[in-house]
Amino acid sequence: MLVHIDQDKCCGAGHCVVAAPEVFDQRDEDGIVLLLDARPPADLHQAVQDAAAVCPAAAIRLDLA
């Protein structure tokens, strides 16, 4: 799994950090998403998919190859 984030689209809700704190963080100054791990291990894939699904700004894209 390859994780892409779009920082321009991110609205800073932080839902992704709640869903997958190992993979996502937020910039303190504006809450914008930070990607900690673009190739997360398999045991985190479900959490990352949840994060992408709940992102209100559709700012997380996953390549599931």
Partner 1 sequence: MTAPRRIAVVGAGAAGLHTAEALRRAGYDGRLTLVGDEEEPPYDRPPLSKHLLSGQWQPDRLTLRDPRALDELRLDLRLGVRARRLDRRARTVHLADGREVPCDAVVIATGVRPRRLPGAGTPGDGTPPAGAHVLRTLADALALRADLCEGPRAGGRLLVVGGGLLGAEAAATAVGIGAEVTWLVSTDTPLAAVLGTETAALLTGLHRGHGVRIHRGTATGLLSRGGRATGVRLADGTDLAADTVLTAIGSEPATEWLADSGLGLDGGVVCDARCAAGPGVWAAGDAACWPDPRTGRHRRLEQRTNATEQALHVARNLLAGPDGTTEVYTPVPYLWTDQYGLRVQAFGSPGAADRFEPVDGSPEEHRFAAACVRDGRVVGAVGIASARALRGLRAQVAAHAPWPPEPA
Rule CB under 8 A: which residues touch partner 1?
Answer: 8-9, 11-15, 17-18, 26-31, 49, 53-58
Minimum CB distance to partner 1, residue 2 (Å): 15
Residue 27's CB: how many other CB atoms inside 10 A? Answer: 12
Looking at residue 25, the DSSP 8-state letter turns out to be: E
Q: Which is nearer to partner 1, 12 or 44 (CB)?
A: 12
Paired tokens of 43: 């045991």
Partnered with residue 25 across adjacent β-strands are 34
Minimum CB distance to partner 1, residue 63 (Å): 12
Q: Which is nearer to partner 1, 29 or 43 (CB)?
A: 29
Residue 63's CB: how many other CB atoms inside 10 A? Answer: 10
